[in-house]
Amino acid sequence: MRTFNNLKTVQFQEKLKESAIKIYKKIFNNCEVQDLRENGVNVHILDKEFGIDKLLSFKTGQWISIQEKYRKYDFLVNSNYQIKPPWPDFTQEYKNAVGTINENNGEWFKLGAQLYFYGWANKEENNFKRWIIIDIAKYKLIVEEYGGLDKIGTMKYNHVHGKASFYCFPIDLIKDAWLFNGSEI
């Protein structure tokens, strides 16, 4: 029987989870990190409805919400838009279950997190080769200035996982929204 934890995408995310936490704690001064996806299929309402994967909590009582996307190493070196190295393309999920009776709005329509961590794994999949933290409000405004995702990207389809559609575009188009970026630590 196939369970949520046996999915290849979940196993891939699990391998990199600690690396992302190290990055957050380094940048955000030893914040506490709460993963809202820890219950597997019993997804936290903030993740399900607002695309919030993690909360970073501070000693002052403040918190920051983060959406995450981890990509395989091959997408770093074999990008559709290999910009000036080391930055490849950016993908934004648009719809889920495309072409089925269950088709629904994807991440783009419910992206309510404050920050977006976007990282590409190293070959060994035990760390991030490259990563970026994006201010989501600035990102959304940049997309609006272009006139929408369809004006800056190309729609593609993932027929393997959830029959999702997504837009793919050069990540440097949203460079003004980058807050932090780095490489393996």
The encoded tokens of residue 171 equal 């990540």
Residue 86 has pLDDT above 70, yes or no: no
Number of H helices, E strands in the chain: 5, 10
The answer, yes or no, to whether residue 12 has pLDDT greater than 90, is: no
Asked whether 51 and 36 are in contact (CB, 8 A), the reply is no
Task: Confirm if 100 and 165 have CB atoms less than 8 A apart.
Answer: no
Lowest mean pLDDT among 32-41, 48-57, 135-144, 165-174: 32-41
Strand order in 104-105's β-sheet? 104-105, 89-96, 164-170, 154-158
The pTM assigned to this predicted structure is 0.88
Residue 175 per-residue DSSP state:
G
What pLDDT sits at residue 1? 41
Report the number of distinct structural domains present in the chain: 1
pLDDT tens-place string over residues 94-132: 999 999 999 999 999 999 999 999 999 999 999 999 999
Q: Residue 116: which domain range?
A: 4-183
Answer for the pair 132, 119: CB distance below 8 angstroms, yes or no: yes
Q: What is the pLDDT of residue 2?
A: 45
Of 174 and 87, more confident: 174
**With 90 as the cut, is the pLDDT of residue 7 above it?**
no
